[in-house]
Amino acid sequence: MEPGIKDKKSKLFGVGLTVICHIALLFICVGSGLKYNYPPPEEQGILMEFISEEEPKPIEVAAGIEPKALVPNPEEEVTLVQRSEGPEKGTKSNEALEATVGDDGDVEVPEPPRKEINRRALFPTAGNDKKDTLAPQTAERPSDNLTAGHSLGNTRTGSTDGTPSAQLKGRSLVGSLPLPAYSVQASGRVVVRIMVDKDGNVTSAQPGYTGTTVTDRTLWKAAEEAALKAKFNTSSTISQEGTITYIFTLK
């Protein structure tokens, strides 16, 4: 076979095969539901609204009106306007005493008078040496005086006027109370609050307890030192509270 005839047949075979493929593809598209709408539908879209920001408005401030003269006169002398004027004009300048510098500042302020303190009102029982003001606090039954031989006192016989006395419930003194040594010219009563251990020793003494009529610290110290030397009988109680009263007189 000649080469020219062979090339012609090959071209015809290729064209025929191409046509057959396109026809088959067309049938496949029609059978699969591919349709073309005519006329074409209207185009659809999303409506978007853009809000523009408002420009800030400037704050309007009313401008003040300057006071003006009714009839301006440039040649007139300017004078200050007084807000208020007194009904009468003074004839001379004001005069006052010159302020002097004191210890507490530029102006000396007088101190108000102080009321005198009634010292007898602070100690209403100062003038009554016979009455025992501690009896209602320590005795089982309140009484005006601790009589001789009282179970809460240390006095055996006689009166306690002018002599020291001790009060410790259920306990008694061993010997006598030590007397305070003092040289101050003062008189009155000093009540010392004491703590006594089970062996009868005074472990602490605090002067100035209720019933004290003397404020002199020297007498308080003398009463404290004397009270610490006191001795009581032994007891099963671990620690017990009582008082010792000292009567100071002028020497």
pLDDT, residue 34, reads 58
Measured in Å, how far apart are the chain's first and last C-alpha atoms?
A: 176
CA–CA separation, 210 vs 88, rounded Å? 71
Q: Does pLDDT of 66 surpass 80?
A: no
CB 146 within 8 A of CB 130: no
Indicate whether 7 belongs to any domain. no
**Burial of 243 by CB count in 10 Å (0-12 exposed, 13-18 middle, 19+ buried)?**
buried
The per-residue pLDDT for range 101-141, each reduced to its tens digit, is 656 555 566 777 877 777 666 665 555 555 444 444 444 44
pLDDT, residue 135, reads 44
Domain range holding 234? 122-248
Q: What is the mean pLDDT of the chain?
A: 74
pLDDT, residue 128, reads 56
How many domains in the chain? 1
Q: State both tokens at 86.
A: 């007194």
Q: Does pLDDT of 245 surpass 60?
A: yes
C-alpha separations of 9 from 12, 16, 21, 93 in Å = 5, 11, 18, 144
- How large is the C-alpha radius of gyration of the chain? 61
CATH of the domain at 126: 3.30.2420.10
Work out the average pLDDT over 164-175. 85
Indicate whether 133 belongs to any domain. yes
Quickly list DSSP for 99-121: P---SSSSS--PPPPPPPP-HHH
pLDDT, residue 113, reads 81
Indicate whether 146 belongs to any domain. yes
The better pLDDT of the pair 147, 183 is held by: 183
28: Cα within 13 Å, side-chain hemisphere? 6
Indicate whether 33 belongs to any domain. no
Indicate whether 51 belongs to any domain. no
Indicate whether 191 belongs to any domain. yes
Indicate whether 16 belongs to any domain. no
Q: Does pLDDT of 249 surpass 80?
A: yes
Indicate whether 242 belongs to any domain. yes
**Number of Cβ within a 10 Å radius of residue 194:** 24
**Burial of 163 by CB count in 10 Å (0-12 exposed, 13-18 middle, 19+ buried)?**
middle
The strand pair at 188-197 and 202-207 is best described as antiparallel
Dihedral angle sign, alpha carbons of residues 199, 203, 207, 209: negative
The per-residue pLDDT for range 209-236, each reduced to its tens digit, is 999 998 999 999 999 999 999 999 988 7
